[in-house]
Amino acid sequence: MHYRNLLRRLDLVSLQLLLAVHEEGTLTRAAEREMIALSAASKRLHDLERSLDIELFERNAKGTTLTPVGETLLHYAKRILADVERISIDVGEHLQGVRGYVRMMANISAIIEFLPEDLQAFTVGHPQVKVSLDERPSAGVVKGVLEGAADLGICSSDTDTRGLLAVPYRQDTLVVVMRPDHRLAARPRLAFAETLDDDHVGLHADSFINLRTKAAARSHGKALRLRIHVPGFDAVCRMVQAGFGLGVLPLQAFELIGRPLGLIAAALDDDWSQRSLALVVRDVESLSPVSRLLYDHLLDV
C-alpha cells in the first residue's frame, strides 16, 4: 500500500478509538470513554477495516480482542498519538513562554530518594523547562522509553533494558523495616533469610523490591510470606507500624518516612541489598535539546 494512500485512510480519532477498544475490552466502553455514539464508533472502525482491507478485531461473547495485524497497527498508533500529544504540549507551552518539555519515567525509589533535589536544582538553572514525571516499576520505565512515551527513564540497573542505552545514576541500600517491639529489632544487621519466618508487607507485584525479595526467598527454598501488597513506601511503613509484618525499603526512604513513625531498620548482609539505579534513553543524539540538558544534569549529579 502506497504511504500517500495510507495517509488518506488513517485519522487520529480512529487510532484513538482503536487504542480505547484495546484498553477497555469492549466497543461499548471504548465509545463511552471517547464520548462517541456507539453506532458512530462501530461505523468508524468498520470503515477503517474496509479502507485498509484488513480485520483488526476478533469479536466474541466476552468482548473484542485485536488480531495480529491489529496489534501491529496499535503499536504504531500508540507512537503516533504520543507524538501528537507531545506536539500539543510543546506548542502550547511555547505559547505560554515555556521553552521546553521533558517527559520522564522513574521507579518509586528514584522519585522518593533522589529526584526531588536533582530536579529542583535543574529547574533553578532552567526555569522555563517543564518536566513531566510519571512513576512506573522499573520494567514499565524501560517499556515507556522504548515506546516513546518518555524521553528519559530511571530504573534499577538489574532490569532488562532491552537495548536501551543505560548509564549509572545513583546507588542505594535496602534495609529491613520493623516495629521496635519485633524480635529482630535489636539487631543492627541481619541476613534476609532470618526474616523468612515472618510475614512481610510487599510493594506492588511488578516492583523490583517485590521481585527481588521473592527470588531471595526461593533461593533459600521458601516462599515469601506476603501478607499484603501496597502501592508505595509510605504505605509499607504504615502497614509495618500497624503490625502487618516486615518491610524492605531503601535506607533513605526509611529515614524520610519510617523513622518518623517510630520504626526500626536493620541493614541486610545480602549482596543484592546494595543496588544501583540507571538512567536510560533510546539514543542520546536523538534527544531534544532540553531533554539533553536534563540528561547531562542527571549524569553530573
Residue 11 clears pLDDT 90, i.e. is over it = no
Query: What is the pTM for the complete model shown?
Result: 0.69
Residue 2 clears pLDDT 60, i.e. is over it = no
The predicted structure's pLDDT at residue 174: 97
Beta strand ranges found along the chain (DSSP E)? 57-60, 63-66, 100-106, 129-135, 152-156, 165-178, 189-190, 200-203, 226-230, 247-250, 264-268, 274-281
Mean predicted confidence (pLDDT) in 63-72: 86
* Structure confidence by residue, pLDDT tens digits, 86-100: 777 667 656 565 578
Q: Residue 7: which pLDDT band, with cuts at 50, 70 and 90?
A: low
Report the distance separating Cα 59 and Cα 45, nearest Å. Answer: 13
For the domain made up of 172-273, the CATH class stated in words is: alpha beta
Helix (H, G, I), strand (E, B) or coil at 202: strand
Report the distance separating Cα 114 and Cα 159, nearest Å. Answer: 19
* Structure confidence by residue, pLDDT tens digits, 163-188: 999 999 999 999 999 999 999 999 99
Residue 3 clears pLDDT 70, i.e. is over it = no
Report the distance separating Cα 206 and Cα 227, nearest Å. Answer: 16
User: What residue ranges of the chain are covered by domains with CATH 3.40.190.10?
Assistant: 96-168+274-298, 172-273
The predicted structure's pLDDT at residue 202: 95
Report the distance separating Cα 17 and Cα 31, nearest Å. Answer: 7
Q: State the chain's mean pLDDT as an integer.
A: 90
Percent of the chain with pLDDT over 90: 63
The predicted structure's pLDDT at residue 189: 97
When mean pLDDT is compared over 13-27, 65-79, 252-266, the highest value belongs to 252-266
Report the distance separating Cα 181 and Cα 6, nearest Å. Answer: 68
* Structure confidence by residue, pLDDT tens digits, 101-144: 899 999 999 999 999 999 999 999 888 888 999 999 999 999 99
The predicted structure's pLDDT at residue 263: 98
Burial of 183 (0-12, 13-18, 19+ CB in 10 A): exposed
How far apart, in Å, are the Cα atoms of 140 and each of 36, 96, 290? 30, 31, 23
Pick the CATH number of 4-90 from 1.10.10.10, 3.40.50.2000, 3.20.20.60, 2.60.40.1220: 1.10.10.10
C-alpha cell at 2: 502506497
C-alpha cell at 197: 519466618
Q: How far from chain centre, in Å, is Cα 66?
A: 24
Mean predicted confidence (pLDDT) in 20-40: 89
Q: Residue 58: which pLDDT band, with cuts at 50, 70 and 90?
A: confident
CATH topology of domain 96-168+274-298: D-Maltodextrin-Binding Protein; domain 2 (3.40.190)
Q: Residue 266: which pLDDT band, with cuts at 50, 70 and 90?
A: very high
Mean predicted confidence (pLDDT) in 277-298: 93
257 or 58, which is more confident: 257
User: What residue ranges of the chain are covered by domains with CATH 1.10.10.10?
Assistant: 4-90
Percent of the chain with pLDDT over 70: 93
Q: Residue 4: which pLDDT band, with cuts at 50, 70 and 90?
A: low
